[in-house]
Structure formats: structure tokens, C-alpha cells
């Protein structure tokens, strides 16, 4: 029960004296056999084989109670230096050590001369068995297991030092109950491998990830990907320890450019400043030259600028025109979002990402709130994690209430002692009116452009693709489950031409000439969610505010003909309707810019 530990690589006199005190105290309470039994049930034999029972299974494929004399002596001899006397790696040393143990057993009368002679003449009699241990044994749940492991090892609730926490986790007899829906996670892993086949030779640097969060609680329901948890194999993308859904400090890969999945935050900023979804903006081509000022009240001087010419572009030429904010978001028009942001305080937009837990994983010095000093963040230049987007969009599903993602429900040790775990932490971060307005558009995206009848609604979500499609997304939700799917590159995740997935070999066949969220990420989301939505509630998102009817003309305008009014109405509807087929995007595509700023306006980093 002492907080002091005598287990360390370097012990001083005070450590030795403390150990002596403990040894005397223990011998007053326990017999030597009891002490030895306790020790042998805890000691590390090899790798993660703790205790003599695990060692017996590992080296001899039998239970400890069924070991013969020479096998028992071999394991007893290993304890002093497990790596040096490992019988698989160092058989000669192991036999020599075993025979010395047998000699001591004979001299003390533990065995007879006949038993000794027979034992020392035998070989090691190994029958090794590799039994999966730790998170490797968790199969499709391995990455969630790894995430939970990292949560415990980084939390001083479980010990002052990492070594203390490791000791408790691996030898403390803990029962850890989590939030995972293992049934759904099995399907998530299967769907992730279907989207990007880990066995395909072309997919050595193309991966998929899927993670789900429950709105209103923050419980992480799924966390899977298309790889096998384990050491990377050369020239294969099948194995990795990287968890693509989370941040690097918790076993992750450092996030990926969010592309157009970041656009809803700009819309929230726009709405919070008194604007509406039906307001019109000028989405024509525009060049922002060095010195162009953007409103950013939280920065020195209250403004920020781009570092060099920045000319955001769209994938479809027919959208360089005036349109409503709703139309711009629905078709994911870069120039529309940029104009929206240009008329909004960038700090307001960035503040929404901070409130909803979306951090820039690529920030200098580690994950940090997204900086409003670089205008390109509005269309996805920041590197973010799928888990953070799933949790943020869960707030859209829950009338603006954000709940921090959580994975652990309870932790108890073998004696029934409970450890403190992270409780539900939810707070109202967005005005429900703005969320209803936003959902009015995101609902149409998920229903009309992505699901097309396969996923029972109400559903909502947003597509996302960075330049060259090295990172593609769909983040969508019901009121009961929010899921982020990501497909892209890891080593070549930068949005550069050399990393492009347009026309690349994916799943051992040539991908379309224009890869976007509709190619892999959105279909993965649909495959998973068409079943997953039935396990959780599916309520309405609320009604978006509609454009009020135009005021009646004044008395002096009565001369205006009915036909004129009809023509104006027709022109108004034409303005925001889908453009002609030759200038409209593919129904499931995003508008990818190919000259967007990277935070200083130089156009090297890409956004969707």
C-alpha cells in the first residue's frame, strides 16, 4: 500500500533499507511459500509473459501445474535474467542455467540423484506457442484497446510514473469497462477493409479509418481501420501500430488535412454574426494579394493577411457567381466559403473549432487550437483527427451541445477498488438556432448527395477532400450516432501532386481521374451507417429558418405588372438552382481548389 516503489534500474542505500523493512514486514504476515507464489505469479519471463502460468504456456504449451522437474528448473532459472536465459533465443545459456538450478535442488534434497541425472541429460523440450497478448489479442478492437491503454498510461490516477502505471495495468488485475460497441466495431473493421483492401499490393500507403461517437454522452462507439495491429511489414500496408483516428500522443498518426469538412465552422461564424443561410454572397473569382486584410479581432491590430497571392479555386467553373450561403455549402464551393469568411471575424470561426475540440495536430510544438492568423484554415489546411471531427459533428446532432469523447466507463482492481475515470463532460457551445440552420443544409448533403436512400434518416453530414485527394472524408450523423470516415495516405499525406490519388492504383485497379470523398470515404460511411443507425435514436434535427417573403410593394409601385414579378421570381430561383450539366460538379464530388493558401497564402498546401 506504500506510495514508494523499490522497483527501479538503479537502487541506492535508502532503497535497499526500505526493501529490507518490507521483507521483514511481509515475512510476519506470509510464509516463504506464499511469498514465492505471489512473486512467481507477477514476475516477467519474456515479452509480455507475466507469471509462471503464462511462461509455461508460452514455452511448453502446458499449464504450470503440469511441468516436469527440468521444465520447472528452466523457468526458475530464467527469473534472474529473462532475456539472457531465454531458451528460444539463447538455448545453450538456458540449459547451463537450468542445470545449475537442478544441482541446487539435488544438494538441498528437493530431488533425488536419479531425478537429477535424468533431468540434466534431457534437452530443453520446448513446445513454444505464441499466444496473442495485450491489444494484439483484441483483433478488430485492437486500435481501441491501444487507445485505452495509452489513456491509462498517460493518466497519473494510475500511478505517479509511467513505470508505476504499466505495473498496475499489466499486473494489477484490473477490470476496464469501456464504451465500445464491439458488435458495431466488428462491422466497422470489415467495412474499412472492404473500402481499402489491406492485402492489395497497390495499397502500401493508402488506408481507411472509421470512428463513431454518441451525441449527448461523448461515448466512443467504434474505432477501427483497414490494417492489422502489429509491426509494419516491409512493402506492405497491412500491419501498423498507428491508430489513424487519434492524436500522436495517444498512439495516432498526427491527423490529416480536413478539407471541406471544416466548412461548417465558417458557416457557424457567419450565422453567429446575424447572417442567414439564405443570404447571398459573391463567389466570383477573387485574388487576395499580400496585405489583404481579414478581420481577426483576437489578433494584434484586429486583422490578419495572406503572405502571397491567394486565388482560391473551384473544381467546377459554373460556380464563380453569386449564390446563397446554403447553395455554397451544399455544393462545397471554395470561393463561396472564402467570401463568407472574408465577411466574418476569423477569430469567431476559429473559436468554434476550439470549443468543439478540433485541434491542429500539425501546429508547432504539438496539437494546439487552430490559429486564425492563416485564412486557409477555413477550407481545411489544418491537420485534424477523425475522432475530433466525429465528436464535433456530434454536437451538430445534439442541438449544439458538445461532449468530450470518452472511452472508459469504469476501472476496478482485483480487490474491487474503483479508480476515478473521466466523467461525461458536456456543454452548450453553439446556439441551437444556428445548428438547426446548419443542419438544414448538411441534411440535404447526406440525404441527396451521399446516402441516396440507403441510410434511414434523418441524417446529415459534410464531405471533404484536400488537393490531390491525399486525404478524403465524410463526417455524418443522426441524433444517435456520429461517424467520421477517412481514406487517404499516411506517409504521403501532404496535399502535393506526387501524393495524388487521382488516377492512382487503388485496390489494384486504376482509380477515377478525379478522386474525391464520393470515391471511397462516403461509400464507406454509407456501408457502415446503413446498419449502425438502427441501433440508436433517429430524431429530427429541427427546422432551419426560412427566407421571409418579400415585403408587399408600396402603393406607388402598384404599376408594376404581375408578369414582371413572375419574371423576377423565376430569375431568383434560377440564380441558386443547379447549373447546367456541363458546369455542375459530379453529384457526389467536392469542389477541390488547386491553388489555395497554406496558411501564408503561398498555395502549396491544399484544401477541398
Q: What is the CATH number of the domain that holds 175?
A: 3.40.710.10
Same-domain check for residues 248 and 294: no
Among 230-244, 345-359, 535-549, name the one with the lowest average pLDDT: 230-244
Among 485-494, 522-531, 581-590, name the one with the lowest average pLDDT: 581-590
pLDDT of amino acid 578: 38
Same-domain check for residues 238 and 293: no
List pLDDT tens digits, range 39-96.
898 888 887 788 999 999 999 999 999 999 999 999 999 998 999 999 999 999 999 9
In a domain, 60, yes or no: yes
Same-domain check for residues 589 and 599: yes
In a domain, 465, yes or no: no
3-state secondary structure 365-386: CCCEECCCCCHHHHHCCCEECH
Same-domain check for residues 319 and 237: no
Select from 68, 94, 121 the last residue of a domain. Answer: 121
Q: Which residue did the predictor score with more confidence, 559 or 264?
A: 264
In a domain, 2, yes or no: no
Q: What is the mean pLDDT of the chain?
A: 89
Residues with Cβ within 8 Å of residue 250, at least 6 apart in sequence: 147, 150, 151, 154, 243
The gap between the terminal CA atoms of the chain, to the nearest Å, is 56
List pLDDT tens digits, range 205-226.
999 999 999 999 999 999 999 9
Rg over CA atoms, the chain: 31
List pLDDT tens digits, range 271-311.
999 999 999 999 998 899 998 999 999 999 999 999 889 99
Cell of 223: 474505432
According to DSSP, the β-strands at 239-240 and 228-229 are parallel
Q: Structurally, how many domains does the chain consist of?
A: 3
In a domain, 18, yes or no: no
Spatial CA neighbour of 493 closest among 259, 326, 299, 255: 255
Q: Which residue did the predictor score with more confidence, 482 or 80?
A: 482
Select from 68, 98, 121 the last residue of a domain. Answer: 121
pLDDT of amino acid 11: 63
Contact 424/215 with Cβ under 8 angstroms? no
pLDDT of amino acid 70: 96
pLDDT of amino acid 410: 97
Same-domain check for residues 332 and 369: yes
Same-domain check for residues 351 and 417: no
Same-domain check for residues 393 and 284: no
Cell of 314: 473551384
- The mean pLDDT of 502-506, rounded to a whole number, is 97
Tell me how far apart the alpha carbons of residues 607 and 601 are, in angstroms, rounded to a whole number: 12
Cell of 506: 487503388
Grid cell 471554395 is found at: 334
- The mean pLDDT of 124-138, rounded to a whole number, is 86
In a domain, 52, yes or no: yes
Tell me how far apart the alpha carbons of residues 384 and 399 are, in angstroms, rounded to a whole number: 23
pLDDT of amino acid 96: 96
Helices (H), 108-181: 113-121, 142-153, 162-171
Same-domain check for residues 393 and 352: no
Same-domain check for residues 335 and 196: no
pLDDT of amino acid 50: 85
Domain that residue 97 falls in: 42-121
List pLDDT tens digits, range 354-373.
999 999 999 999 999 999 99
Tell me how far apart the alpha carbons of residues 198 and 424 are, in angstroms, rounded to a whole number: 36
Question: Quick one: which H or E segment has residue 142?
Answer: helix 142-153
Same-domain check for residues 376 and 389: no
3-state secondary structure 174-224: CEEEECCCHHHHHHHHHHHHHHCCCCCHHHCCCEEEEEEECCCCCEEEEEE
pLDDT of amino acid 564: 35
pLDDT of amino acid 415: 87
Tell me how far apart the alpha carbons of residues 317 and 314 are, in angstroms, rounded to a whole number: 7
In a domain, 278, yes or no: yes
Same-domain check for residues 264 and 327: yes
List pLDDT tens digits, range 393-424.
999 999 999 999 999 999 999 889 999 999 99
Tell me how far apart the alpha carbons of residues 205 and 492 are, in angstroms, rounded to a whole number: 7
Among 128-137, 245-254, 269-278, 443-452, name the one with the lowest average pLDDT: 128-137
In a domain, 357, yes or no: yes
φ and ψ of 303, to 5 deg: -145, 170
- Under DSSP, the state recorded for 243 is B
In a domain, 24, yes or no: no
pLDDT of amino acid 171: 83
Same-domain check for residues 414 and 310: no
- The mean pLDDT of 524-530, rounded to a whole number, is 98
Among 191-195, 267-271, 425-429, 578-582, name the one with the lowest average pLDDT: 578-582
List pLDDT tens digits, range 5-19.
444 445 678 888 888
State the burial class of residue 590 (Cβ atoms within 10 Å of its Cβ: 0-12, 13-18, 19+).
buried
Q: Which residue did the predictor score with more confidence, 172 or 507?
A: 507
Does residue 458 have a cis peptide bond before it, meaning omega lies within 30 degrees of 0? yes
Select from 91, 121, 151 the last residue of a domain. Answer: 121
Spatial CA neighbour of 309 closest among 20, 9, 598: 598
Buried b (16+ CB within 10 A) or exposed e, 206-217: bbbbbbbbbbbb
Amino acid at each position: 500500500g506504500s506510495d514508494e516503489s523499490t522497483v527501479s534500474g538503479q537502487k541506492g542505500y535508502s532503497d535497499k533499507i526500505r526493501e529490507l523493512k518490507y521483507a521483514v514486514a511481509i515475512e510476519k504476515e506470509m510464509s516463504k511459500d506464499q511469498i514465492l507464489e505471489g512473486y512467481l505469479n507477477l514476475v516477467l519471463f519474456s515479452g509480455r509473459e507475466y507469471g509462471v502460468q503464462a511462461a509455461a504456456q508460452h514455452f511448453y504449451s502446458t499449464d504450470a501445474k503440469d511441468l516436469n522437474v527440468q521444465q520447472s528448473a528452466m523457468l526458475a532459472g530464467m527469473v534472474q535474467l529473462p532475456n539472457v536465459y531465454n531458451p528460444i533465443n539463447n538455448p545453450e545459456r538456458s540449459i547451463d542455467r537450468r542445470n545449475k538450478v537442478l544441482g541446487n535442488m539435488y544438494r538441498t534434497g528437493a530431488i533425488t540423484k536419479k531425478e537429477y541425472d535424468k533431468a540434466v541429460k534431457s534437452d530443453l523440450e520446448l513446445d513454444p506457442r505464441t499466444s496473442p497478448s495485450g491489444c494484439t489479442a483484441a483483433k478488430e478492437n485492437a486500435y481501441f484497446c491501444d487507445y485505452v491503454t495509452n489513456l491509462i498510461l498517460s493518466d497519473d490516477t494510475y500511478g505517479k510514473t509511467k513505470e508505476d502505471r504499466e505495473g498496475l495495468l499489466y499486473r494489477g488485475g484490473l477490470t476496464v469497462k469501456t464504451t465500445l460497441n464491439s458488435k458495431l466495431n466488428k462491422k466497422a473493421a470489415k467495412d474499412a477493409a472492404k473500402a481499402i483492401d489491406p492485402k492489395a499490393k497497390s495499397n502500401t500507403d493508402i488506408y481507411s479509418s472509421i470512428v463513431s461517437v454518441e451525441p449527448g454522452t461523448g461515448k466512443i462507439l467504434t474505432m477501427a481501420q483497414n490494417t492489422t495491429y502489429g509491426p509494419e511489414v516491409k512493402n506492405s500496408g497491412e500491419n501498423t501500430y498507428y491508430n489513424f483516428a487519434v492524436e500522436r500522443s495517444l498512439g495516432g498518426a498526427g491527423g490529416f488535412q480536413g478539407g471541406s469538412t471544416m466548412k461548417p465552422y465558417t458557416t457557424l461564424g457567419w450565422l453567429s454574426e446575424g447572417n442567414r443561410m439564405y443570404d447571398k454572397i459573391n463567389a466570383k473569382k477573387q485574388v487576395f494579394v499580400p496585405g489583404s486584410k481579414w478581420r481577426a479581432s483576437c489578433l494584434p491590430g484586429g486583422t490578419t493577411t495572406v503572405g502571397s497571392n491567394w486565388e482560391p479555386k473551384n473544381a467546377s467553373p459554373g460556380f464563380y457567381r453569386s449564390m446563397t450561403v446554403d447553395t455554397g455549402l451544399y455544393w462545397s464551393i471554395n470561393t463561396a466559403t472564402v467570401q463568407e469568411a472574408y465577411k466574418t471575424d476569423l477569430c469567431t470561426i476559429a473559436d468554434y473549432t476550439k470549443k468543439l475540440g478540433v485541434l491542429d495536430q500539425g501546429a508547432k510544438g504539438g496539437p494546439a487550437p487552430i490559429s486564425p492568423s492563416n485564412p486557409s484554415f477555413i477550407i481545411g489546411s489544418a491537420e485534424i483527427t477523425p475522432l475530433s471531427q466525429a465528436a464535433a459533428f456530434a454536437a451538430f446532432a445534439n442541438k449544439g451541445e458538445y461532449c468530450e469523447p470518452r472511452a472508459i466507463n469504469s476501472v476496478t482492481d482485483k480487490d474491487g477498488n474503483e479508480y476515478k475515470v473521466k466523467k461525461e463532460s458536456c456543454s452548450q457551445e453553439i446556439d441551437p438556432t444556428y445548428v438547426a440552420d446548419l443542419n438544414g443544409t448538411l441534411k440535404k448533403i447526406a440525404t441527396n448527395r451521399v446516402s441516396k436512400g440507403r441510410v434511414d434518416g434523418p441524417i446529415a453530414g459534410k464531405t471533404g477532400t484536400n488537393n490531390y485527394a491525399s486525404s478524403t472524408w465524410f463526417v455524418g450523423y443522426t441524433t444517435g450516432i456520429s461517424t467520421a470516415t477517412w481514406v487517404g495516405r499516411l506517409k504521403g499525406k501532404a496535399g502535393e501532386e506526387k501524393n495524388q490519388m487521382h488516377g492512382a492504383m487503388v485496390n489494384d485497379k486504376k482509380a477515377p481521374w478525379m478522386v474525391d470523398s464520393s470515391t471511397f470515404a462516403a461509400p464507406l460511411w454509407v456501408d457502415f451507417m446503413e446498419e449502425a443507425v438502427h441501433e440508436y435514436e433517429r430524431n429530427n434535427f429541427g427546422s432551419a429558418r426560412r427566407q421571409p417573403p418579400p415585403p408587399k410593394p408600396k402603393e406607388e409601385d402598384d404599376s408594376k405588372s404581375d408578369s414582371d414579378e413572375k419574371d423576377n421570381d423565376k430569375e431568383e430561383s434560377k440564380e441558386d438552382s443547379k447549373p447546367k450539366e456541363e458546369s455542375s460538379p459530379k453529384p457526389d464530388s467536392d469542389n477541390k481548389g488547386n491553388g489555395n493558401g497554406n496558411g501564408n497564402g503561398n498555395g502549396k498546401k491544399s484544401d477541398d
